[in-house]
Amino acid sequence: MPKVGMEPLRRKALIDATISAIGERGSLDVTMSEIAGRAGVSSALAHHYFGAKDELLQATMRHLLSELGTDLRAALHMAATAHERVLAVIAVNFSDKQFRAETIAAWLAFYVEAQKSPAMRRLLRVYARRLHSNLMSGLSKLMPRVEADHAAEGIAALIDGFYIRRALKDGTPNAVSAVAVIEDYLETKLQQHKTAS
């Protein structure tokens, strides 16, 4: 008989094992049995909690989005100005918790999978809309809407680009240099707006 209260812990263990397996493999080419072994549960139990591997992958993607959302809400709550809001969004995407080799590999694998999986594509659209909205919450107060929209698109592309570039390299991810480049882009955009005004 299953132990009461174990299901959330086992689900979390399976999601963590999925991120770890994808990170090590660099693709979604992992089996439920491999993931279950990493999580310390049987393959049958993994199937019981998630059904097919696709459902586990979607749950893992939702988990990553949820963690990112929680971290962003906390950072935005602490931001006192519009400029700080934009900097907070950038910083959270490159925090130690988010910008880890395993998580980066998982994001890249999900992007690839989204080319053929409508469910993954929907989740990535949610991510893109949230990122844009969070950036606009600060940028729209710093420059006209059209300029803010372009700046948000540029910052989002840089964030995604650094994740992709990082996934293709060995070694420890360098969040500091990524943040510096994106902040430089932001300052350039803000300066262009001031000059044009």
Q: Number of structural domains, the chain?
A: 1
* Within-domain flag for 24: no
pLDDT of residue 4: 56
CATH number assigned to the domain comprising residue 135: 1.10.357.10
Rounded (10°) CA dihedral 179, 183, 186, 188: -130
Q: Which of 95, 84, 10 shows the shortest CA–CA distance to 103? A: 95
pLDDT of residue 1: 43
pLDDT of residue 141: 97
Exposed / middle / buried, residue 149 (Cβ in 10 Å: 0-12, 13-18, 19+): middle
* Within-domain flag for 79: yes
**Mean pLDDT taken over the chain:** 92
* Within-domain flag for 133: yes
* Within-domain flag for 89: yes
* Within-domain flag for 32: no
Rounded CA separation 163/46 (Å): 29
- Retrieve residue 61's tokens: 């993607």
Band of pLDDT at residue 196, cut at 50, 70 and 90: confident
Band of pLDDT at residue 171, cut at 50, 70 and 90: confident
pLDDT of residue 28: 84
- Write out the residue range of the structural domain in which residue 95 sits: 60-196
pLDDT in tens, 30-51: 999 999 999 999 999 999 999 8
pTM of the model: 0.88
* Within-domain flag for 183: yes
* Within-domain flag for 158: yes
* Within-domain flag for 46: no
**8 Å CB contact between 193 and 143:** yes
For range 86-110, the mean pLDDT: 93
**8 Å CB contact between 137 and 85:** yes
